[in-house]
Structure 1
């Protein structure tokens, strides 16, 4: 048989447990309510999310991005610019990988690219090293070489198109082989034909609205990269 004192102690103990439970659940409910209000405010645009930051792919920030010029209108080609005959495209291959012998360029890399382009009919006028290294391969050209650059770009799975400040009547194109280089596509996978207009790059900008970048200089030869004589 329990005494009244024991009953009273049990009642007090249960009361304190209920109070603690009420406090805990009250705090949890209040926290969830605040989270809900915050989420609603972010969703409605009333405030900016602290997590609303772009994701960065490793290596992407290592090389500045530039606007890609749109294809120009070509006289006699009302449906759009057609690819240029490969034999009429002059390209200079520059090893800008920053790897290999003497830290200048990977031995034979430029020569391999030059040979591939030559075999496909392009006029490779030089193979050498770039003064500046790049992470991702680029095609650099002036306003007169936009169509030629698009024609060469079709032979690569991913290559950046950069307008530089060479003279407008200069139609040559520089291929800079970056550290993250990719081999040219198989010729059967090149998706252009002589009678089909080229397609503008997504998000391209008219060349007149782009500030051209400085032309990449050639690094003085140190013998690590065999040069292809100009034709």
Structure 2
């Protein structure tokens, strides 16, 4: 049989436990309510957030972006610029991947692209290492090479088009292979034909409104690098 004193002590202990639980839950609920009100105020712009650091996807901010030039009017092609014959497109392949020894580019990458482009009929003037490393592959060209660049771009799933400051009569195109490179599309998936006008890139800008970028040069090789080129 339980004594009245023990029963009373048990009741008091349970009462104190319930009081402590009520205090703890009350504090938690109040804290959550304050957090919710603060978040709502920040979201609505009523107060400034205590931090102002943008969220960046890894790799996206590593390389500057440039406006893409629109296709020019071509004499004798009133419906729009037609693709340039592959044999008339001069390409310089530059390995800008920076993944090889001493950051000079993944070995053999430039040569692989050179062979792929030659097999498709393009004229490759040179395949070597770029003086600058890039994250994403680019086609660089002057005002005279816009149609040729669009023609080459059709062979890649996603490639950046950058107008540079080479002479306006220079129709050559530089292919710079970045570290996040993608191989050319299968030839059957290239969506251009000789008798169908090319389509402007989405959001393109008239050439006159673009400030051309400096042309990226070739990396000067040391004697050791010359013996085992990374292209």
TM-score (norm 2): 0.79
* Pairwise CA distance, 1:9: 4.6
User: Secondary structure of the equivalent of 1:200?
Assistant: coil
Secondary structure of the 2:176 match is strand
Cα distance between partner residues in 2 of 1:79 and 1:174: 27
Please tell me whether residue 95 in structure 1 is matched to residue 95 in structure 2: yes
Q: In 2 relative to 1, CA 163–6 (structure 1 residues): closer, same or farther, beyond 3 Å? A: same
Unaligned runs of 5+ in 2: none
Displacement after TM superposition at 1:10 (Å) = 5.0
Matched, 1:161 2:155: no
Residue number in structure 2 paired with 1:18? 18
Cα RMSD for the two superposed structures = 3.1
CA change 1:47–1:199 in 2 (3 A) is farther
Shift of 1:114: 2.0
Aligned pairs for 1:71-82 (under 5 A) are: 71-82=71-82
Asked if the contact 1:127/1:225 (under 8 Å) is kept, the reply is: no
Give distance in 2, aligned partners of 1:71 and 1:48: 44
Alpha carbons 1:105, 1:225 under 8 Å: kept: no
In the alignment, does 2:194 pair up with 1:201?
no
How many residue pairs are counted as aligned between the two chains?
225
TM-score (norm 1): 0.79
Say which SS state the counterpart of residue 124 (structure 2) adopts: strand
**Which region of structure 1 is more displaced relative to structure 2, 191-200 or 76-85?**
76-85
CA distance in 2, matches of 1:173, 1:60: 24
User: CA deviation digits over 1:44-92, x for unaligned, max 9?
Assistant: 34346659843423x3443333232232333444443322221222211
Q: Report what 2:218 is aligned to.
A: 218
CA deviation map 1:137-172 (0-9, x unaligned) = 211111221111111011112222111111222211
Q: Which sections of structure 1, spanning at least 5 residues, go unmatched?
A: none
Distance 2:19 2:52 in 1: 37
